[in-house]
Amino acid sequence: MNKTSFEIHTSHIHNESCNCEACILKNMLFNHLPQEEAEKLCFIKKEIHFQKGEVIVKENDPIEYFFYLKNGLIKISKMLDNNKQFILMLARPHDYISLLSYFHKQHYSYTMIAIEESVICVFPLDHIQNLMISYPEFTVSFLQKVNKTADHLIERFLTINSRNLRGRIALILLELSEKIYHAKSFEIPFSRKEMSELIGMTTENVIRILSEFKNENIIKISGKEIEIVNNDKLKFIAEHG
């Protein structure tokens, strides 16, 4: 098997006892398999721990595994023709973080990097594919999740690109607050440059608009720490910016 960035980290494998019965993954996927197949799938999976900044897979690595994000936060990015990086999405716990290339390519079209300490459940892709051939309900469930991931990317792209610069920053701050950290105060898990790559702006514009929000008493900033002070105003900017 080719040496991939994913393989380098196999020292992080934790061979823990199978606890899929208590995992949300069981309800989302395993319920569409016979009990014996679900148990087999549970016991062949590996949990792999990644530290912040570690590469999970690189663009053009061979696709050999099915990934499920159990804990943490992952950025999924692609290098554009102009050698600029574009962040496609932030993957949150319970996301299937490698669905988009499974059925039409043999190599990943994007790079995945942990931006927080993360735990990923890993399954051999050939085993998943064999289950899809044998169990139609499992296949339908799997394809529904592929479509949901694609729809999320399209919706996010259209939403971001329909906003001005202030609206884009507001959307990202609200996503971090409401969907990832569930708190008004949080630490931004990436740099200002990465934030610009997430919303298609320059780093200078990100810095300028964050400063504007601070001066308008919408947020407080201390390094990477952000506190949303005026949530209603931030939502108005996100919706109408």
Q: Hey, what are 182's tokens? A: 């569930």
- Say what the pLDDT of residue 108 is: 87
Q: Which fold has domain 5-152?
A: Jelly Rolls (2.60.120)
Answer whether 5-152 and 163-240 agree in fold. no
Close Cβ partners of 98 (under 8 Å, ≥ 6 residues apart): 57, 63, 65, 66, 67, 108, 112
* Domain topology for 163-240: Arc Repressor Mutant, subunit A (1.10.10)
Computed over its alpha carbons, how large is the radius of gyration of the chain? 19
Give helix then strand counts, H and E, for the chain: 9, 11
Does 22 score more than 90 pLDDT?
no
pTM above 0.75, yes or no: yes
pLDDT, greater one: 82 or 202: 202
More confident residue, 202 or 94: 202
pLDDT for the residue numbered 156: 83
pLDDT digits (tens, 9 = 90+) for 62-98: 888 888 888 899 999 988 877 788 888 888 887 777 6
As a whole number of Å, the end-to-end CA separation of the chain is: 49
Q: What is the pLDDT of residues 140-183, one digit of tens each?
A: 888 888 788 778 888 888 888 899 999 999 999 999 999 999 99
Q: Is the pLDDT of residue 11 over 50?
A: no
Residue 43 CA, distance from chain mean position: 25
Domain residue limits, the chain? 5-152, 163-240
